Amino acid sequence: MPKIVIVGMGIGGLGAAFKSLKFVPDAKITLIGDELPYVRHKLRLVTQGIDIKVRTSHIESEVEIIQGRVTKVKREQKEVVLENGETIPYDYLILATGSHPSRSKRIKGSDKALGFRRLEDVQKLIDESPSEVAIIGASFVALHVADAARGIGAKPYVIVRSRVMRKALEPELSEEIQNRLAEKGVEFVKGTPKEVKDGAVVLDDGREVKADLIYIATGVDPNIALAKQIGLDLYEGWVINADQHGRTSDPNIFAVGDNAIVHDFLTGKPMYLGIGTAASIMSLNAARAIAGHKAAMRVPRYQKDVFFGGIHMTSVGLTSVEAQKEGFDADRVEVSGNGWGDKAYIVYDKKTKRVLGFSAVSKDDVKWKSIDVLLTMMRRQPITRLGIEPS
């Protein structure tokens, strides 16, 4: 009976527990986290009084759940140590410790800004009931904060340095989503933040964006304290290095979710995703590897979101800009309408015609089309398979 200990109860950790139950049914599973589980991408719904907790009662007879913090891992003894000193032995350890909001060194005082990641971050918004909220960054998390701020009747100011969701959307779609959000009362301020001070974000040209609350959403940094402490191999020094199964430089330790890299099947290179859909597949791969399976499922970038109840964004694989950066001779074709979304693009490789990505902004959900693109991309099939003739 192998002992599997999982640290972290987010999508990665919970996923690892569910998948271990399925693939390693004789395992003794212990799930440890400093937060009880909730649906992180639904944080903003807390402003509407919606309970986002994930119930675990149905697995509690088979999985030992401990609310607490792991402060140490003893690799030689194969044990984790909790903050109360209790030790728990493992045969396999799955680190699913997630990430935390980045604080840019280029922005003086950025540690004064709030992140939007944990229940207490949204609770602060509810408790303080601000009139104006400044948000540094134009990532999808920044738009979640804007949505939550509007939800409590505050005016959100989103400070954009380049363009909205630039890694996920074609340039025209960044503009499209920005226009649609502006119609809902989100004010976009183009500029480069230089300093966070009490009640304002100062931009490098001297302008100030005044606000009662200031959030920062410029990306995340993986939680790697435990990995560092035990000397696991890190990729470029900032995120846990792992193979396609999530196995780290210690064969008995896996890393899944926001704390680890994945291997991009389009480029063959290590890539950092930091999204829940990836965390879920990574946890599946780790559980299957512990059970002795040789094959790992590919981890694509697949992201869907809806803002203000009716502004859908969908992003699969690479944008044309990212594809070119990765060395593809990439082109794109606009496929707006006919079920693809109000404004949508498919990116493909000019030589092989293989699909490399898709992004859309629409009033409707384009889930089925996006899954069709995803499968076409993962099967390395050409764009014509989608009924689209490249120009």
Ligand X SMILES: Cc1cc2nc3c(=O)[nH]c(=O)nc-3n(C[C@H](O)[C@H](O)[C@H](O)COP(=O)(O)OP(=O)(O)OC[C@H]3O[C@@H](n4cnc5c(N)ncnc54)[C@H](O)[C@@H]3O)c2cc1C
For ligand X, the closer of residues 126 and 199 by Cβ is 126
83 to 122: interface string for ligand X, x by CB under 6 A: -------------xxxx----------------xx-----
For ligand X, the closer of residues 42 and 197 by Cβ is 42
Whole-angstrom Cα Rg for the chain: 22
Number of residues this chain uses to bind ligand X (CB under 6 A) = 36
Chain centroid to CA 281 = 13
Integer Cα distance of 72 and 82 in angstroms: 7
Residue from 214, 178, 172 nearest 195 by CA: 214
Q: Encoding tokens for residue 170? A: 């074609």
Q: How far is the CB of 34 from ligand X (least distance, A)?
A: 4
Q: How far is the CB of 94 from ligand X (least distance, A)?
A: 10
Q: How far is the CB of 349 from ligand X (least distance, A)?
A: 25
Q: How far is the CB of 206 from ligand X (least distance, A)?
A: 31
- Which residues, 233 to 292, sit near ligand X by CB under 6 A? 257-258, 274-277, 279
- Which residue in the set 6, 7, 142, 330 belongs to the binding site for ligand X (CB under 6 A)? 7
For ligand X, the closer of residues 299 and 347 by Cβ is 299
* Site stretch for ligand X (CB under 6 A), options 48-56, 138-146, 319-327, 366-374: 138-146
For ligand X, the closer of residues 141 and 344 by Cβ is 141
54 to 73: interface string for ligand X, x by CB under 6 A: ---------------xx---
- Which residue in the set 65, 113, 141, 255 belongs to the binding site for ligand X (CB under 6 A)? 141
Is 345 strand, coil or helix?
Answer: strand
Does residue 289 contact residue 281 with C-beta atoms inside 8 Å?
A: no
Euclidean distance between the first and final Cα of the chain, in Å? 58
* Site stretch for ligand X (CB under 6 A), options 37-45, 126-134, 291-299, 309-317: 37-45
Q: How far is the CB of 228 from ligand X (least distance, A)?
A: 12
Q: How far is the CB of 283 from ligand X (least distance, A)?
A: 8
For ligand X, the closer of residues 140 and 348 by Cβ is 140
Print burial letters for 300-337: b (CB count within 10 Å at least 16), e (below 16). Answer: bbbbbbebbeebbbbbbbbbbbbbeebebebbbbebee
* Site stretch for ligand X (CB under 6 A), options 18-26, 31-39, 124-132, 355-363: 31-39
Distant-in-sequence contacts of 40-46, Cβ < 8 A, 24+ apart: 40/10, 40/11, 40/117, 40/276, 41/144, 41/276, 41/305, 43/116, 43/117, 43/119, 43/121, 43/122, 43/144, 43/148, 44/122, 44/144, 44/145, 44/147, 44/148, 44/151, 46/119, 46/122, 46/123, 46/126
- By CB under 6 A, tell whether 34 contacts ligand X: yes
For ligand X, the closer of residues 259 and 376 by Cβ is 259
Integer Cα distance of 92 and 254 in angstroms: 8
Within 8 A by CB and 6+ apart from 60, the residues are none
Q: Applying CB under 6 A, which residues contact ligand X?
A: 7-13, 32-35, 40-41, 43, 69-70, 96-99, 116-117, 140-141, 144, 223, 226, 257-258, 274-277, 279, 303, 305
